[in-house]
Amino acid sequence: MNIFYCPLATLDEYCALDETESRHIANVLRKREGEELFVFDGRGNLYDARIQSIGKKEVMVHVVRLMENTEIEKPKLHIAIAPPKNIERFEWFAEKVTELGINEITPLLCKHSERKEIRADRIEKILLGACKQSLKLRLPSLNPMTNVQDFFAQQKNDAHKYIAYCDEKSIHLKNAYRGNIDAIVMIGPEGDFTKEEVLLATQHKFETVSLGKSRLRLETAGIFAASVFNLANE
């Protein structure tokens, strides 16, 4: 199934697809007016639509039927992670956790961070592509690069909060998180969080957790955390 992104899609209304989606429909798939296609709004809704018109840069569709609705509230996962120097590793992480159904990603700026900026537009395209490939109807939110101190101050919801830290005393995430509630998991840079950052996290009610005995690359750690979350909520 090919699905196309239209954030303004509404039942029984007309919706214009952006230039990238429109060119794919017209030039690659060679669709014609009146043909059927499927659009999703990134918020959990999949629609059956009919092509109304095809222009050089815009395809207009008529949204005729709601095919699937996944707006029922389920536990949400937010991973805050320090991007590595090699941005391709972060992009791979973003793609895979989207396939696993993550809701929100925050790139973290920590004391030991090797990368201080990302190209949000490029990452957002990867998130969208992963949604379409895996038929996930919710597009994850990508937040701006955020200083770790500011990140702590922003977390005022009732989610269970965890910070992955290499400490023998930390309980494993699978035992700390039991499901049925939103969760935030922080993954540090290659040099890990500093003791000061961990202390600040605990002061903001984050629990230190282990991701197992293996030494994981940060992108692997993020995917592992998303898998633990999914299993706990099955």
Supply the Cα-derived Rg of the chain in whole angstroms. 20
CATH 3.30.428.10 fits 77-232, yes or no: no
Take residue 153 and report the two structure tokens written for it. 């101050």
Supply the pLDDT for residue 24. 92
Predicted confidence at residue 17, as pLDDT, reads 96
User: What share of residues in the chain are helix, strand, coil (percent, to 5)?
Assistant: 30, 30, 40
Report in angstroms the alpha-carbon separations of 32 from 63, 161, 225: 16, 49, 44
State the average pLDDT over residues 75-101: 97
d(CA 135, CA 130): 8
Beta-strand relationship, 104-109 and 141-142: parallel
Q: Is there a contact between 165 and 188 (Cβ–Cβ < 8 Å)? A: yes
- 2 pLDDT band, cuts 50/70/90, is confident
User: What is the residue whose two structure tokens read 């017209």?
Assistant: 26
Pick the CATH number of 3-69 from 2.60.120.560, 3.40.50.10210, 2.40.240.20, 3.30.460.80: 2.40.240.20
Q: Where are the domains of the chain?
A: 3-69, 77-232
DSSP string, 151-202: HHHH--SS-EEEEE---TTPEEHHHH--SSS-EEEEE--TT---HHHHHHHH
Task: State residue 201 phi and psi, 5-degree precision.
Answer: -60, -45
pLDDT band for position 95 (50/70/90)? very high
Candidates 150, 130, 149; CA nearest to 138 is 130
What's the distance, CA 53 to chain centroid? 32
- Structure tokens given for 30: 């060679």
pLDDT value of residue 232: 97
Q: What's the pLDDT at 71?
A: 61
**Could you tell me the pTM of the whole model?**
0.92
* Average pLDDT rounded to a whole number, residues 22-43: 94
